[in-house]
Amino acid sequence: MKKRIAALLGTALLAGMMTACGGGSGETTAETTAAAAGGATEAAAETEAAPEETSYKSELNVAVAANPPSMDPHGINSNIVGSIGMHIYEPLFSLNENYEAVPVLAEGYTVSDDGLEYTITLRQGVKFHNGQEMKADDVVASMNLWLERCSKAELIKGSTFEKVDDYTVKMTVPEASSDIIMVLAAPIQFAAIYPQSVAEAAGPDGISEYIGTGPYELAEWKQDQYVKLTRFADYQSPEGESSGLVGAKPASTETIYFRVVTDNSTRIAGLQTGQYDIIEDLPLEYYEQLSSDPSLTMDVETGGTLNLFFNTTQGPLANQTLRQAVMAALNCDDIMLAAYGDPNLYMLDAGWCPPDDAVWGSDAGSEYYSQNDPEKAKELMEEAGYNGEPIVLVTTPDYSEMYNATLVVQEELKQAGFNAEVEQYDFSTFMEHRADPAQFDLFITSNSYNPLPVQLSVLSQAWAGLDAPEVAEGIAAIRGAATTEEASAAWDELQGFLYEYGAASVLGHYTGVYGLRTGVEGFDYLRYPIYWNVKVPE
Amino acid sequence: MLSYILKRILSLLPVLFVVSVVIFLVVYLIPGGPATAMLGLEASAEQIAELNAQLGFDRPFLVQYVDWLAGVFHGDWGQSYFLDMPVLTAIAEYFGPTLSLAILAQVLSLIFAIPMGMLAAYKRGTAVDLATVSISLLGTAVPGFLLSMFLMLFFGVYLRWLPVAGYAPLEQGLWEHLRYLILPALSLGIVQAAYITRMTRSALLEVLYKNYIRTARAKGLRESAIMFGQALKNAAPTILTVVGQSFGSLVTGTIVTEVIFNIPGLGMLTMSSINQRDVFVIQGVVLFITVIYVLVNLVVDILYGLVDPRIQLGRK
């Protein structure tokens, strides 16, 4: 009897485990058949092709370093969400390779004489992944949701969208500015157009159905494993050559897998064996070693700036002269080398925008940048009456570049005579400290470029507490400028002010490295890696 | 017997209660809610506070806890914000890969450990014994992540026999399923085998010098019959305990190995839920692990009775 009960219990336990096991992977059956079908069409295409032509794989494997926290680009400032999202959804306008705003789902627009009304016409015949046609109702619902949720839309706060007819919408803005369409085209937290029903059903944490008009549709999203995109058969590509995020999007490879591989060495091992065709966030310490491998190609893209932010409102650094002393002590070359490990992977420049940007590239304030002058720092400290109060640098080891840079800055400050202390926390805790001026004196973060300098975090009071009227005036001057030249000059002035006031300092410009198998074609980058042109030879 | 099992399962309840309060409290006290992780680096404090409020994380601790507890009694363990699914579904989904990995690792470890342990005990003091003990000590001493890296580099990158990382569910075929699991299972199995070998050896040594073994030898029983029929059977409770512990630790998810080999199991779920402050998932996973541990121990206890009739569970 005893044995039978034990056996029964054992079987029950085992059965329970089996169902748990089965439940875990039951969804993949359909996927396998779909993949098989994809393989069949590919095979058919191959037989038609001439024998000497290269044949391409029907599946692209991209290893990404982070788990996308969502598939809703509106509300989340996350590169992985934006980058995958760009393949699924499309905005009204986006950027071409010259950083100009170009229509995507829009056909064109006209502006009223007072600059307050934008009449945007929509392309006709564009289908959502669910088969519905994209119309004005969808655009109005999505854009209103975006205005509410996107922090980058603060610039045009108070704007409204309304429907004129099925293929025309009217946008009303509270203030005229030359940058309105640029704001709509910004790639981070981009203004993806969803079907009206999806946009209207969105809860506090965003949409829950992932339907767009993009060249790929979301086939499957397995948390912690992969995001699988498949070519959207009814895709209506915008006209024109592929350029940045606009123009033709051929969806050259049938299926894209974004595989979530958080471990750095695993991502690299997978690239070396060909399990992944492309890996994102290649750890910089491997750059030199992997560059010498002929089977791999490294793609280096400048992505933003590493910045030092001061607490300008509380604590010892509320004193402007003392902030100037800190800036005098910095040697940015050493800081950037510690952060990025290889001189090929960073650039020293005082500008907050890409130095090659014709409009926004600026060297204003560069006399304050990377002075490496501890003697001057000591003099300024004395002038400011510094008495060895602790200067707290908060950081997080979760972002190694931010952490390493912080340690070097601490050392440089100590050498100049500051009592610099580092407090390190996990990312979430760091964010709490950073947001509260009572809990930091200095912090360093890496921030991606913004298409418009007025969207930079450094200008926002919520970021590091910066509270100076010159900032608001500067923003107004840039946005109200009649010509690009005037706007550019106004930004020069504002950037100069940031340095002079000691609000923050750029430490340098960083790059992101993508590892590709040699032979992979069509990889492109604009703010995000772009995969719709990518082809992988067999 | 049945009442014994029931009693054991009932005794779980207070344990689970205490564990749940502690975990909830810890997650409540550490700074940064799910909103921080959700909104990313450039989110403003107001946005974070707003989302936390919308999700109900700004309420007092007791209100949040009682709310969650009430849900649990109705079979609702809460919702994961990142996975966008109920916690129980998430656990069920992530448990599959971990279970497969645990079973494979355990089988691999036992194939090595039991024969080696027996051989070492039988040949006590010889070179074979010394070699076995040294190798198993080395196996215990090597950190799991190092072993994982080594296996990945050698079999994955250098020899290219097996994929470096990833996971294929059983539906894609048994071989496909196993192909991805072999390296992580080896990595886990080697460490477990080292431990089980040593414990098997010492359990057998204790038995081998008992009087009844001497009697059996004197009666002229074959050595194999003595080893398997007498010694192993008497050492079995100790070995079972060790194997039970080993399986318990495998089946509750191994964070390092799962992360390195990219296996979407309980270990991965534990880590990502902690990173993302996905509080209900952390709760669910910890409670689930507690239950599994207790169940594994219960099964081991029941097995004692099977291998050794002298042990009668539930009788005074």
Please report, for residues A246, A373, A510, B276, the alpha-carbon distance to residue A332 in angstroms, rounded to integers and kept in the order given: 36, 12, 12, 33
Which of A70, A270, A425 lies closest to B165 in CB terms? A270
Q: Measured between CA atoms, how close is A273 to chain B, in angstroms?
A: 6
Please report, for residues A259, A514, A515, A534, the alpha-carbon distance to residue A538 in angstroms, rounded to integers and kept in the order given: 20, 20, 18, 13
Q: What is the pLDDT of residue B41?
A: 63
Residues whose CB falls within 8 Å of the CB of residue B151, separated by 6 or more in sequence, listed in order: B183, B186, B187
CA B45 to chain centre: 39
Interface with B, mutate which of A262, A290, A428, A449 (most B CBs under 10 A): A428
Contact residues, chain B, for A20 at CB < 8 Å: 92, 95-96, 99
- CATH label of the domain that carries residue A161: 3.40.190.10
Per-10-residue mean pLDDT, chain B, length 316: 80 84 82 69 73 81 88 85 86 93 96 94 92 92 91 92 92 93 95 94 91 90 88 89 91 88 92 83 88 86 81 63
Residues whose CB falls within 8 Å of the CB of residue A526, separated by 6 or more in sequence, listed in order: A95, A97, A187, A244, A245
Please report, for residues A132, A142, A241, A243, B128, the alpha-carbon distance to residue A127 in angstroms, rounded to integers and kept in the order given: 6, 15, 21, 22, 72
Whether residue A525 is found in the same domain as residue A494: no
Whether residue A272 is found in the same domain as residue A309: no
Contact residues, chain A, for B165 at CB < 8 Å: 261, 263, 266, 269-270, 275
Structural domain includes residue A348: yes
For residue B62, what are its two tokens?
């007791």
Please report, for residues A266, A281, A287, A342, B62, the alpha-carbon distance to residue A516 in angstroms, rounded to integers and kept in the order given: 15, 11, 12, 19, 51
Whether residue A124 is found in the same domain as residue A273: yes
- Interface predicted TM-score of the whole assembly (ipTM), two decimals: 0.79
Which of A6, A25, A29 lies closest to B96 in CB terms? A25
Which of A2, A22, A263 lies closest to B1 in CB terms? A2
Residues whose CB falls within 8 Å of the CB of residue B101, separated by 6 or more in sequence, listed in order: B181, B184, B185, B188, B250, B254, B257, B258, B263, B265
Can you say whether the dihedral through the CA atoms of A247, A251, A257, A261 is positive or negative? negative
Q: What is the pLDDT of residue A144?
A: 95
Contact residues, chain B, for A222 at CB < 8 Å: 264
Alpha-helix runs per DSSP H in chain B: 2-10, 12-29, 34-39, 45-55, 61-73, 87-122, 127-141, 144-151, 174-208, 211-218, 223-225, 232-251, 255-260, 266-275, 279-307
Structural domain includes residue A188: yes
Structural domain includes residue A45: no
- Look at residues A113, A120, A111 and name the one whose alpha carbon lies nearest to residue A91: A120
Structural domain includes residue A40: no
Q: How far apart are CA A27 and CA A191, in angstroms?
A: 31
B107: exposed, middle or buried (C-beta count within 10 Å: 0-12, 13-18, 19+)? exposed
**Which residue matches tokens 């497969």?**
B100
The answer to whether the CB of A462 falls within 8 A of the CB of A456 is no
Whether residue A458 is found in the same domain as residue A487: yes
Which of A20, A70, A266 lies closest to B95 in CB terms? A20
Which of A23, A275, A436 lies closest to B93 in CB terms? A23
Domain count, chain A: 2
Whether residue A273 is found in the same domain as residue A381: no
Whether residue A227 is found in the same domain as residue A316: no
For residue A223, what are its two tokens?
């948390």
Residues of chain A with pLDDT under 70: 1-52
Whether residue A235 is found in the same domain as residue A328: no
Alpha-helix runs per DSSP H in B142-231: 144-151, 174-208, 211-218, 223-225
The answer to whether the CB of A533 falls within 8 A of the CB of A524 is yes
pLDDT tens digits, A375-429: 999 999 999 999 999 999 999 888 889 999 999 999 999 999 999 999 998 877 8
Query: Would strands A442-448 and A296-310 be described as parallel, antiparallel, or unpaired?
Result: antiparallel
Whether residue A363 is found in the same domain as residue A469: yes
Structural domain includes residue A287: no
Contact between B163 and A275 using a beta-carbon 8 Å cutoff: yes
For residue B32, what are its two tokens?
């940064």
The answer to whether the CB of A171 falls within 8 A of the CB of A143 is yes
Contact between B84 and A10 using a beta-carbon 8 Å cutoff: no
Whether residue A84 is found in the same domain as residue A127: yes
Contact between A24 and B92 using a beta-carbon 8 Å cutoff: yes
Report how many Cβ contacts below 8 Å link chain A to chain B: 178
Whether residue A397 is found in the same domain as residue A326: yes
Q: Residue A513, by phi and psi: left (phi above 0), alpha (psi -120 to 50) or beta? A: beta
Q: What is the pLDDT of residue A52?
A: 60
Residue A72 CB neighbours (<10 A): 24
pLDDT tens digits, A298-312: 999 888 999 999 999
Whether residue A70 is found in the same domain as residue A207: yes
Contact residues, chain B, for A13 at CB < 8 Å: 295, 299
For residue A280, what are its two tokens?
């994102």
Structural domain includes residue A422: yes
Q: What is the pLDDT of residue B313?
A: 65
Can you say whether the dihedral through the CA atoms of B79, B83, B84, B90 is positive or negative? negative
**Which residue matches tokens 């060790």?**
B242
Structural domain includes residue A6: no
Which domain range does residue A113 map to?
A: 59-277+520-530
Q: How far apart are CA A296 and CA A173, in angstroms?
A: 49
- Look at residues A183, A128, A187 and name the one whose alpha carbon lies nearest to residue A158: A183
Q: Measured between CA atoms, how close is A224 to chain B, in angstroms?
A: 6
Q: Measured between CA atoms, how close is A144 to chain B, in angstroms?
A: 17
Structural domain includes residue A285: no
Please report, for residues A82, A261, A304, A521, the alpha-carbon distance to residue A278 in angstroms, rounded to integers and kept in the order given: 18, 12, 21, 11
Whether residue A264 is found in the same domain as residue A345: no
- CATH label of the domain that carries residue A320: 3.10.105.10
